[in-house]
Structure 1
Amino acid sequence: MLNAFLMMLLFIQPMIHDQDLSITHDDQLIQHINRNHFLENEMLKPFIDQGKIRQLILQVEKEVHQQARNAKITPEGNIKPEKVGYQLNREKFTEGLFNYLFGSGSYKMEVPEHTVHPKVDSELLANIRTQEIGSYITYFNPNNKERSHNIKLAAEAIDSHVVFPGETFSFNEVVGKRTKEKGYKPAPVIVKGEVTEGIGGGICQISSTMYNAVDNAGVKILERYSHSKRVPYVPEGRDATVSWYGPDFTFKNVYNQPLLIRTKVTNGQVSITVYSSDVVDFESRKIPGSTKKLPEEIELDSQD
């Protein structure tokens, strides 16, 4: 009796697989499903469980998604080429999936994709790094390791960023949330007058340096807030405080050419420079320079 049952299973198994859908990406199998799994009730066929459909789409979307990468200028001054990205073509995938679910037999489907082109390519970068239209330098204590680390991270997030004509730049949007997961550290030292976010202390030196650089380039400042007390790394009234849950720093590119933001942090110096093409018609503003004198710092442990 047992042998007969086992023999029956052997015959049933190929029949089950003959009804499967194989989903491939670059000719590699990523999902293997059976239409019965998506029926709300076999007696109610062809009613489909939409929740399971959505879950499958999200799983496939995650499998095939490749983020497009903008071209970037390396610290050595070379241009690192852009990279094309890909995302799931939901409409075509859903159409193919339902053709299988309401059909019969097995089916194989290569995941349909949309090509996602990067916003900034090598040719654009080469064209808009030709003319300097604004810059600014501030100074910090490189011995303050945590604060220095945060300054470098924020600077790297902005470096090679391109602001297109009529586009608005948001510091919080470009730099993103300052978290431990992204590598930001609590700064155990407070620079006099600067209010930190706890995690990410030192970020305001980047936003303040950038404010002065882009103001020097003659852009339109849309949103800028000063600290409640004067900060020492820029002249009075020339700072720009930022916080993920609070103030942002934003400006608009009013020119007919894209702007390229370059940042450099080395030996206790933050340098931010704004470039554009050699045909840009810009009007720079005169900006007061910063002091090289290092600010007073206070250990948090000494605070009440």
Structure 2
Amino acid sequence: MFASKPESSSAPTSAEDSEEKAGGRVVVGVLLGIVLLIGGALRGRPPGHRRQGAPRYDRGRRRHRGHTTEEAEELLRDGLADRVDQPLELVVGDEKRSVVPREAGLTVDYAESVEAAGGGDSWSPERLWTYFTGGHDLDARVDLDEPTFDTLLDELGEEYGNPPVDGEVTFVDGRIRTTEPKAGEALDPEVARKALLTAYLGPSQVVELELDEQQPEIDEADVSAALNDFANAAVSEPVELVFDETTVRLSPKEYTKAIAMEPVDGALEPKLRPKLLKAVLADALAGDGGPVEATVAIRNGAPVVVPDKPGVAFSQKEVNDLFLDLVTAESGQRRATVEAEVARSDFRTQDAEALNIKEVVADVTTQFPYAEYRNINIGRAAELVDGTVLKPGETFSMNDTVGERTRANGFTEGFMIADGVFKEDLGGGVSQMATTLFNGGFFAGLEDVEHKPHSFYISRYPVGREATVAWGSVDLKFRNNTDHGVLIEAKVTPATPSSQGVVRVRMWSTKVWDIKAVTGNRYNFTQPKTRTMTTSNCVPNTGYGGFDIDVKRVFRKPGSSKVVRTENFHTTYTPSDTVVCKKP
């Protein structure tokens, strides 16, 4: 048999000396050879007789009549050469796997093995003969590297075992969801250790390992206790928090995202998630503490009033400390008062309702050809415009609403018109959004405050009814000169290589006017010129002529044929010059 040698905790640990290996006796003959090697010079001498040159230690090196421990170790290495690296065959159920001993952390310590065979201070053949024939077990000293052995066990566990499933209680959208606990199967580390040590260096390298049933840490009783002690009550009814004069009512669907049940010492304990509770309250109140005014938004294709939110200054810790008790309180007692100061918006829910935003008063679409920069820039502009609410008397500014066209603001380079020619710059293409918005305001009957047509005509835009913008210089503005609010809805369907993109603007309000556009004939035609340019940003162009045109906006009351008034929009389009690009 083979014994593991004792080690300090800082070195690779050894298997227990008492652990036996079925093939241990194979090394007896090898060690007997070592005895003959070391004690050969003592033949014929009576037992116990020592000459002056008896063995002594010299810096870890033992010598006797010219023979060294290194020679003994080499003989042991040769004797175990065909076994020390022989793979072990692991059998787990119907599965088999071959493992090299070093993969299991198994190695032989030859020096310690020879030391043990030498009996300490005496290398006399007479003592060794008695040692071998007197009933002693002669063990090779085996090192077992614990980290390597643990890594192998982890791999085997993942490959053949099934970890137990702990029971769980979770909350999803205000409802309880449970996970049923299940037992698993795993290897017993100590049993596996003994089995590997027994097979190592032995006549049979087959290691049969069995999976033991492993119970979950959280079982059915723990799940049942969690339901009865906390979870069922936590979703039973809404709770109310009173902040000064403001009462916030939270439904289980809203607040259960801020509570959980976590395993603690073999049981499921309720746990508050303070950050999520803070977010729940911020959504119910006003986020950072300031009041939020009411507004109107499109929900499921129709305008709805979004109530105002009070601004509340309070101690979050106070709410955290009472919340778990509050959600498990009995019916009629699920209300708590929190010390707070409350501020309300000047524009309250009833004010938003009074805007009378209830129907579509203008619905306009324009199309654009495929270019990825157009999809990006027009789409981004629509995101920033969508949902804008104009109260009576307020003026819409596209530049103020969309902001500077920068990469940080979500825009990219695209083509635009500057000085009568095309050039590439950030935000190219947003004039498509400006044109669609201009027509939305036009047909909603809103007051035109500022708009500038393109310098030359672009055929995809309504002639005489279009607008361009440029950050810091050219803006699109219209004023809500009605007694009702106006909600702007802006959406973009991206273009593809095989289909046109679509921009749609709908203006929601209470209808005040029926608007009709009357487009006159083109006149004052002008001819394009040819420009030769040598700049690096030159864009070639095939020119076409310019012209003047007038568009009348006709106002009628809804359902009436009587014209109340008309407005004239005059546009002069300059020729689009032919541009020839040449190298500098």
Q: Under a length normalisation based on structure 2, what TM-score does the superposition of the two structures give?
A: 0.31
Of the candidates 385, 391, 414, which is equivalent to residue 164 of structure 1? 391
Of the candidates 135, 138, 141, which is equivalent to residue 366 of structure 2? 138
Higher strand residue share? 2
CA contact (8 A) 1:169 1:250 kept: yes
- 1:269 maps onto 2:502 in alignment: yes
Of the candidates 193, 196, 209, which is equivalent to residue 436 of structure 2? 209
The residue aligned with 1:235 is: 462
CA deviations over 1:149-206 (Å, ceiling 9, x no partner): 111111121222122222211111122222211211112x558978678211111111
User: Equivalents in 1 of 2:378, 2:426: separation in Å?
Assistant: 12
User: Equivalents in 2 of 1:269, 1:275: separation in Å?
Assistant: 19
2:376 partner letter: H
Residues 80 and 156 (structure 1), Cα distance of their counterparts in 2 relative to 1, 3 Å cut = farther
CA contact (8 A) 2:306 2:349 kept: no
2:512 partner letter: D
Cα-Cα RMSD: 3.8
Residues 221 and 126 (structure 1), Cα distance of their counterparts in 2 relative to 1, 3 Å cut = closer
User: Equivalents in 2 of 1:230, 1:269: separation in Å?
Assistant: 19
1:203 partner letter: V
2:506 partner letter: T
| Partner SS for 2:413 | coil
The residue aligned with 2:382 is: 155
Residues 120 and 178 (structure 1), Cα distance of their counterparts in 2 relative to 1, 3 Å cut = farther
The residue aligned with 2:298 is: 73
Residues 82 and 281 (structure 1), Cα distance of their counterparts in 2 relative to 1, 3 Å cut = same
Residues 79 and 275 (structure 1), Cα distance of their counterparts in 2 relative to 1, 3 Å cut = closer
User: Equivalents in 1 of 2:405, 2:378: separation in Å?
Assistant: 11
Residues 196 and 77 (structure 1), Cα distance of their counterparts in 2 relative to 1, 3 Å cut = farther
Of the candidates 286, 289, 296, which is equivalent to residue 517 of structure 2? 286
User: Equivalents in 1 of 2:448, 2:413: separation in Å?
Assistant: 30
Deviation at 1:122, TM superposition (A): 10
Of the candidates 309, 313, 334, which is equivalent to residue 84 of structure 1? 309
Residues 222 and 302 (structure 1), Cα distance of their counterparts in 2 relative to 1, 3 Å cut = closer
The residue aligned with 1:49 is: none
Of the candidates 357, 364, 369, which is equivalent to residue 128 of structure 1? 357
CA contact (8 A) 1:133 1:275 kept: yes
Residues 227 and 85 (structure 1), Cα distance of their counterparts in 2 relative to 1, 3 Å cut = farther
State the aligned residue count: 206
| Partner SS for 2:363 | strand
User: Equivalents in 2 of 1:272, 1:67: separation in Å?
Assistant: 30
| Partner SS for 2:515 | coil
Of the candidates 221, 241, 246, which is equivalent to residue 473 of structure 2? 246
Deviation at 1:215, TM superposition (A): 0.7
| Partner SS for 2:517 | coil
Residues 173 and 281 (structure 1), Cα distance of their counterparts in 2 relative to 1, 3 Å cut = same
Residues 224 and 190 (structure 1), Cα distance of their counterparts in 2 relative to 1, 3 Å cut = closer
User: Equivalents in 1 of 2:308, 2:422: separation in Å?
Assistant: 39
Residues 126 and 115 (structure 1), Cα distance of their counterparts in 2 relative to 1, 3 Å cut = closer
The residue aligned with 1:177 is: 404
Residues 139 and 202 (structure 1), Cα distance of their counterparts in 2 relative to 1, 3 Å cut = same
CA contact (8 A) 2:435 2:465 kept: yes
Residues 151 and 270 (structure 1), Cα distance of their counterparts in 2 relative to 1, 3 Å cut = same
Larger Rg, first or second structure (1 or 2) = 2
1:68 partner letter: V
User: Equivalents in 1 of 2:354, 2:502: separation in Å?
Assistant: 25
CA contact (8 A) 2:416 2:423 kept: yes
Deviation at 1:124, TM superposition (A): 3.4
CA contact (8 A) 2:450 2:478 kept: yes
CA contact (8 A) 1:215 1:285 kept: no
1:128 partner letter: I
Deviation at 1:78, TM superposition (A): 7.3
Identity of aligned residues (%): 28
The higher relative CO (CA closer than 8 Å, separation ≥ 6) is in 1
CA deviations over 1:87-110 (Å, ceiling 9, x no partner): 99xxxxxxxxxxxxxxxxxxxxx9
CA deviations over 1:33-59 (Å, ceiling 9, x no partner): xxxxxxxxxxxxxxxxxxxxxxxxxxx
User: Which of 192-201 and 264-273 deviates more?
Assistant: 192-201
CA deviations over 1:205-236 (Å, ceiling 9, x no partner): 11111111211122210111112221232133
Residues 112 and 261 (structure 1), Cα distance of their counterparts in 2 relative to 1, 3 Å cut = same
User: Equivalents in 2 of 1:245, 1:76: separation in Å?
Assistant: 35
Gaps of 5+ in 2: 1-242, 244-286, 314-338, 495-500, 520-535, 540-580
Deviation at 1:275, TM superposition (A): 1.9
User: Equivalents in 2 of 1:85, 1:180: separation in Å?
Assistant: 35
CA contact (8 A) 2:416 2:424 kept: no
User: Equivalents in 1 of 2:507, 2:342: separation in Å?
Assistant: 37
Residues 283 and 253 (structure 1), Cα distance of their counterparts in 2 relative to 1, 3 Å cut = farther
Residues 71 and 283 (structure 1), Cα distance of their counterparts in 2 relative to 1, 3 Å cut = closer
1:274 partner letter: M
